[in-house]
Amino acid sequence: MSVVYARRRTAPTSPTTAARHRVAALGGAALLATAATLLTGTPAQAAPPAPVSAATARAYLGELTVKAEGSSDGYSRDKFPHWSTQSGTCNTREVVLKRDGTGVQQDASCAATSGTWKSPYDGGTWTAASDVDIDHVVPLSEAWKSGANGWTTPQRQGFANDLTRPQLVAVTDNVNQSKGDQDPAEWMPPAESYHCYYTRMWVDVKHHYKLTVDAEEKAALASVLNGC
């Protein structure tokens, strides 16, 4: 069970103190439920739209075009306008923070001022929004090299702000940074229990957007999905 930190940059509390904090915050029943969730490999608190089943993901993977990864020439994050306004003063990031957190409070500008976020990638739990990144499951650069370089800017904006597919998820910021633009042949979430779910998300998104996969990426995805 992960320790809850007010800020990640401080030293962790002792196991005894941390246990008291966890019990006070969640209660014994909630702790058991969280443990059961982690063991099944499904998200604990983060709740992007559920991906297709493992069987469907295997079928989708077989339908994806296998092609060597393209060049990053011309790529820029600015070509994927992200964190668009969704409603009122709320942009995509704030919508995901609210969706994926527990007890999230927002100010008049829709910025999250308090709440708790549990990162499914590593099990880390955070109480400051600044410790949480919104990960693009299929990174923007990866999408560019898999076919999005031929899209229009509005198409890339839709991809970068997609709330209807399992493409955006709130995770520990430095875990997201360690992922960068790597595909599943190069990087997988530290929590092995989440690998099946993550590959289902990845394939679901790539299939919907008709993005390509390279041979190593497909082999890594197939290896995980065959064990789901």
Express each pLDDT in 109-160 by its tens digit: 999 999 999 999 999 999 999 999 999 999 999 999 999 999 999 999 999 9
Share of the chain above pLDDT 90, in %: 79
Q: What was the pLDDT predicted at 122? A: 97
CA dist list (Å): 34 to 2, 27, 40, 140? 10, 11, 10, 31
Query: Mean pLDDT, the chain, as a whole number?
Result: 85
Q: What was the pLDDT predicted at 12? A: 36
The average pLDDT across 206-213 equals 98
**Residue 7 clears pLDDT 60, i.e. is over it:** no
The span from the CA of 53 to the CA of 45, in Å, is 19
The span from the CA of 112 to the CA of 63, in Å, is 40
Which of these, 58, 3, 67, 31, lies nearest to 199 by C-alpha position? 58
Q: Residue 47 — pLDDT band, cuts 50, 70, 90?
A: confident
Report pTM: 0.80
**Residue 222 clears pLDDT 70, i.e. is over it:** yes
Q: What was the pLDDT predicted at 48? A: 87
| CB within 8 Å of 199: residues ≥ 6 apart | 57, 184, 221, 224, 225, 228
- For residues 116 and 102, the answer to whether their CB atoms sit within 8 Å is yes
Residue for token digits 């509005």? Answer: 154
**Residue 56 clears pLDDT 60, i.e. is over it:** yes
Q: Is the dihedral of CA 48, 52, 55, 60 positive or negative?
A: negative
The span from the CA of 151 to the CA of 86, in Å, is 22
